[in-house]
Structure 1
Amino acid sequence: MGRPVVRHSSRKIPKREQKPPTTKSDSPGTIPPYHSFTHLEAESLRKDLLAWYDRCKRDLPWRRLASSESDPDRRAYSVWVSEVMLQQTQVSTVIDYYNKWMKTWPTIQDLAKASLEEVNEKWSGLGYYSRGRRLHEGAGKVVLELEGQIPRTAEDLQRLLPGVGRYTAGAIASISYGQVTGVVDGNVIRVLSRLRCIGADFTTPAVSDALWSLANCLVDPLRPGDFNQAMMELGATVCTPKKALCSDCPLQNQCRAYRRVSCVMVT
């Protein structure tokens, strides 16, 4: 679940690697066949990625807590805290802060009782203090307005909780509640773009919508939380911005970028 800010490689792409011209039938938000997965490809990708994740995933405190906690609200709270802390912050830095935070405020009710000064003090050193303030504000809203129950769907999480955007809502809902919904962060963007040679500007609404559609189509229906974490883990540890470890990638056989670069190197 660690997600450093990432960018596409600056490597100049030969003409033969560039995206084919968009046809008139392609509309904004749709995924041309060249950039999508067949049903069999999607099934194979899920199987290979989850098998790799089960073998190679990093042992992180929020993952342990989310997998061992039976209470859905405590589980969602633990994921929520980790996701907010991991925004624009390295995993190695977050671990210590997360452990101290959860020891001080193990439930959302505990956090709601804390003062903003206490929250800022515990957040000191992580930067972007507005993240901690929104988390504290959200805890108060859950306790005072939602009867202590964290929303159960990505749609409600994004609609009802301050500072919770589309990605964070999807992460909480899939990991905590098993909702079959995808997530798209910088790591997922890079993995999907390389797998299907998507070279368009992902900051534009049409391309962003297409990537979200692709993520939602790929997510494993039986293990959505693990699948989403696996996609992010792959981008963070193997499919990195520079010097990607392609030989260690469980999805190498489905990666069109790898295939094309290999062909260029051979020729």
Structure 2
Amino acid sequence: MSFQTEIIKWYKINKRDLPWRSTTDPYVIWLSEIILQQTRVEQGLPYFNKFLENFPTVKAFASATENEVLKLWQGLGYYSRGRNMLYTAKQVMEMHNGNFPKAYEKLIKLKGIGDYTAAAISSFSNNESKAVLDGNVFRVLSRYFRIEEPINSTNGKKIFSSLAQKLIEDHKPSVYNQAIMEFGALQCKPKSPACNICPLQFGCFALKNHKVDVLPVKLKKVKVRERWFNYFVGFKDDKILIKQRQAGDIWQQMYDFPLIETNDVAGLNDNDFTATIREMFGNDVKIKSLVQKKHILTHQIIYVHFFGLENYMINFNVHTDIKSVTLEDLATLPHPKVISDFFELYLQNKPNI
């Protein structure tokens, strides 16, 4: 059997029963694809269900507020993608009269939809012969066909794209694309793939040449940036201090606590640090160290330190980005995962934190 036939045969036996596989609705497929770019299927499924429940149509999505979208997206990271989804939904309403497009050439013009997503939606919804290339597909092709060019290099992308397109010809695109992606996710996994029961084992270059752990090749990532966020948790009259993050940095337009960012670890024995706190919250403020944690993003590591405030004073006319809201209001606002994790911890340990 050919490579493609083996992949499709394996898929029909081993595929997972996922809700977006039982539809050709491009809107539903779009939802699943954008969400699954952020996380594994098991983690992404609850998000998919929440989005579809809240926004059953692209029209409903386009009518949402940014806060509503970001609140549902909370915990997935890369929040710009959540914003892009809202923009895309509005584009569909304006450019396509609310009919989510199925054709690759129309999809690729929508914000937040690149080659992979356009290929996935067009092939799954309309059987358009466009090969998908995601991490799973790169891995399978690299190992089986001996492609040692880096998958994230310009030349590597051309090689993989050309091969992937040739392989999809003469096969049903919706089935073949799903099959090779699923094969990479379940069978040809990044670590400890099940090579001993793989239907492609006899033709696989990587297995024959002991390069399963070497392929695919990827150029080194950019240097990870380290940052130190010192958050200040102030309660007064059953209200808590919050601020909305602005554009130009991570988590833009989401809500967190008043923050002092430092160039290194800062503590209450640091005179310059405590002086900055008192300048912000008054000379009589009492400060208590609460919780520290390490928050890892794709290109950043955030060292987070939460401090509790008592007897503070703040000039809201000077610090116009800081507001005072109830806990109920805070729960409805979109905020980064590091804040929601702290919020849950606070509710569980309110007397002690």
Asked if residue 59 in structure 1 is aligned to residue 17 in structure 2, the reply is: yes
Show the counterpart of 1:176. 125
Give 1:36-115 correspondences, 5 Å limit: 44-64=2-22, 66=23, 75-115=25-65
Give distance in 2, aligned partners of 1:193 and 1:171: 20
- Structure whose alpha-carbon radius of gyration is higher: 2
Give distance in 2, aligned partners of 1:163 and 1:117: 18
- Give 1:220 deviation, angstroms: 5.1
Q: Is the 8 A contact 2:38 2:76 kept in 1?
A: no
Q: Is the 8 A contact 2:140 2:184 kept in 1?
A: yes
Asked if residue 231 in structure 1 is aligned to residue 180 in structure 2, the reply is: yes
Give distance in 1, aligned partners of 2:198 and 2:188: 7
Q: Is the 8 A contact 2:26 2:101 kept in 1?
A: no
Give 1:115-264 correspondences, 5 Å limit: 115-158=65-108, 160-219=109-168, 221-261=170-210
Give distance in 2, aligned partners of 1:220 and 1:236: 22
Give distance in 1, aligned partners of 2:79 and 2:158: 29
Aligned length: 211
Q: TM-score, normalised on structure 2?
A: 0.57
Question: Which amino acid in the other structure matches residue 66 of structure 2?
Answer: L
- Give 1:95 deviation, angstroms: 0.6
Q: Tell me which stretches of 4 or more aligned residues in structure 1 moved more than 3 Å.
A: none
Q: Is the 8 A contact 1:109 1:139 kept in 2?
A: yes
Q: Is the 8 A contact 1:61 1:99 kept in 2?
A: no
SS in 1 for 2:210: helix
Give distance in 2, aligned partners of 1:122 and 1:183: 27
Instruction: Mark the runs of 5 or more structure 2 residues left unpaired by the alignment.
Output: 212-353
Give distance in 2, aligned partners of 1:137 and 1:243: 40
Q: TM-score, normalised on structure 1?
A: 0.75
Show the counterpart of 2:338. none
Evaluate the alpha carbon distance shift between residue 88 and residue 114 of structure 1 in structure 2; reply closer, same or farther with a 3 A threshold. closer
Show CA shifts across 1:39-66 (max 9, x none).
xxxx7122211111011001112223x2
Identity of aligned residues (%): 41
Show CA shifts across 1:118-154 (max 9, x none).
1111111222211111111101010122212223322
SS in 2 for 1:147: coil
Evaluate the alpha carbon distance shift between residue 119 and residue 241 of structure 1 in structure 2; reply closer, same or farther with a 3 A threshold. same
Q: Which has the higher strand share?
A: 2
- Give 1:222 deviation, angstroms: 4.2
Higher relative contact order (CA 8 A, sep 6+): 1
Q: Is the 8 A contact 1:220 1:227 kept in 2?
A: no
Instruction: Mark the runs of 5 or more structure 1 residues left unpaired by the alignment.
Output: 1-42, 70-74, 263-267
- Give 1:194 deviation, angstroms: 0.5
Give distance in 2, aligned partners of 1:224 and 1:257: 26
Give distance in 2, aligned partners of 1:221 and 1:76: 23
Give distance in 2, aligned partners of 1:247 and 1:58: 21
Question: Which amino acid in the other structure matches residue 186 of structure 1?
Answer: G
Q: Is the 8 A contact 1:120 1:132 kept in 2?
A: yes
- Give 1:259 deviation, angstroms: 2.3
Give distance in 2, aligned partners of 1:201 and 1:106: 40
SS in 1 for 2:4: helix
Aligned-pair Cα RMSD in Å: 1.6
SS in 1 for 2:2: helix
